[in-house]
Structure 1
């Protein structure tokens, strides 16, 4: 693993004394919002909750000002809100927020070792805070014995149907378990599952440095660190040797049809799948298996009609289908605010391909 990797994190914001307006409970909200619309910084003083109040008032203001019905209008609304909300700042001193009744966020010390005093935007602080809560408390994954503690800026699953599908497949897998490659290892769940089911060595890659840094940190000097080897790189990174099993859980939405840029999902571009299949063919042993975890999400939400795995099987000439397992996804939580009627027909897919 490259020891010189730089973690991706929110950049500290440089603030000049003259361009700052202070906001706390009792400050005039309308004039504060005008300050934001003029492109000037507003620093939250007093209580953490004052920042939450200002964000709420900003949303109300923009809803009255901007139409917010069509997809295009919603995108415009989100864009304006993002720009203005990121002008609302909180000061960090000695790796702690200066406002009262603020959450304690361990990332402020862990990620910003080079400086202890700086400013970040309120939305960035909210993101760091929620990430720290996940990291500290951990998340229970039904198919793993131990909790996961996801690192800042690293994808981790919040739904588990596709993991149950993969776990069930691994239970039935009777091929060699000498090595496997996990392309886009993320928070490491698929690799941990392969180790759980007896694989001796898993090579994991990711183009996100936070995933590699976070997993190295999580595994430390444990047995896992000897069984899972990491590389920062695109697709297969430095791994050239052929292997018995290649596992890939790619993004499920095409980039040009992103339904909502605020969604946690990352979107695939036109070259991801052709490049992946071309490289996978070189690295799969003659009797090896290529397992891709996917979903019909893009099709049923009308983002695209194309299915990249079906396209490869029809046109690629590199692989043949051994089997495809599907699993109906559990209904969306009643708490969700999004319109997800199509979720009733959502299925996760596990494709097993061979040479």
Structure 2
């Protein structure tokens, strides 16, 4: 694995001009007008002032974009993302200087070369929750040990597809010399394969944080000899054909420019054709190709096309051995977003062969 991978992290901001300030005494409407005019605003005094401003901004934009359809939700999210990232907070000696701020280890770990800078408040919130997950770990029903996901690495918060894969692995009777995990992410599928006796797993990811985080997580343990990593797209530098190729791609078609985390949620139009063409070369003659997917795109009307069904119909590369489906548990009542379509959602495990 190359050591010159560049970590992906929020860009530190150094501003020398006077900023608009926001604290408890500030006029919220004037502050939101300043944000709409593209002026950055600095949170002062207490960390909670940032939370107050974000809440007011959300309320203001919700009135502007009523949350009726999936498309409306998208517009609201785009406006919120743009304006909320103009709300800044100050870091001195790698710590937040406002009162009652959380202690976030990433500020030191990710920024060894700089100690005083500004960051957008939502990015700091992201760093904060990512630090909690990294420190405390996340229990995943298909693994014995907790996962400690690295900053900026997508990890699942729902596990139906992982349970489906676990059930499939339990019944799998083919050879277990080698497997490839495309888009290894936080490493869960690879750890499942190792758990079921695969001797060597080759994992790739386009997200540098995934490779850096998993390298740190495995350290010098036995795992580091079982899982080989490469920072690259699709099969990366791995030429070897394997008995099993596993791919848990994004489940929704791209609707805007993607950032790192979005790449785990939305797919570009070239992703599937390129993947299937490469998989044909990398799969051993008797091997199996497993794709974990969902009908999310169809039930949210984001697309009528199902990329795996399309490949089977037109690609001429693979045939279907089996498609296992599992209904998804309904999202918790805590989620505010309108998710009435969740009741129709199914996760899918497609097994394809040459």
Considering the TM-score relative to the shorter chain, is it more than 0.5? yes
For residue 352 of structure 2, what is the aligned residue in structure 1?
353
Q: Cα distance 1:77–1:174, how it changes in 2: closer, same or farther (>3 A)?
A: closer
Specify the SS of the correspondent of 1:323: strand
For residue 44 of structure 2, what is the aligned residue in structure 1?
45
Q: How does 1:1-355 map to 2 (within 5 A)?
A: 1-18=1-18, 20-64=19-63, 66-69=64-67, 71=69, 74-256=73-255, 266-355=265-354
TM-score when scaled to structure 2?
0.94
Q: Cα distance 1:120–1:294, how it changes in 2: closer, same or farther (>3 A)?
A: same
The answer (yes or no) to whether the contact 1:88–1:122 under 8 Å persists in 2 is yes
The answer (yes or no) to whether the contact 1:327–1:349 under 8 Å persists in 2 is yes
CA distance in 2, matches of 1:176, 1:257: 41
Q: Cα distance 1:26–1:149, how it changes in 2: closer, same or farther (>3 A)?
A: same
1:44 Cα offset (Å): 1.2
Specify the SS of the correspondent of 2:158: coil
1:299 Cα offset (Å): 1.2
1:257 Cα offset (Å): 8.7
The aligned length equals 351
In structure 1, runs of 5+ residues without a counterpart are: none
Q: CA RMSD in A?
A: 1.9
The answer (yes or no) to whether the contact 1:205–1:231 under 8 Å persists in 2 is yes
The answer (yes or no) to whether the contact 1:257–1:304 under 8 Å persists in 2 is no
CA distance in 2, matches of 1:181, 1:134: 27
Specify the SS of the correspondent of 1:294: strand
Specify the SS of the correspondent of 1:289: strand
CA distance in 1, matches of 2:214, 2:201: 13
The answer (yes or no) to whether the contact 2:65–2:75 under 8 Å persists in 1 is no
Comparing 21-30 with 281-290, greater Cα deviation is found at 21-30
CA distance in 1, matches of 2:335, 2:128: 21
CA distance in 1, matches of 2:317, 2:261: 35
CA distance in 2, matches of 1:45, 1:221: 44
CA distance in 1, matches of 2:261, 2:3: 31
TM-score when scaled to structure 1?
0.94
The answer (yes or no) to whether the contact 2:322–2:351 under 8 Å persists in 1 is yes
CA distance in 2, matches of 1:191, 1:38: 47
In structure 2, runs of 5+ residues without a counterpart are: none
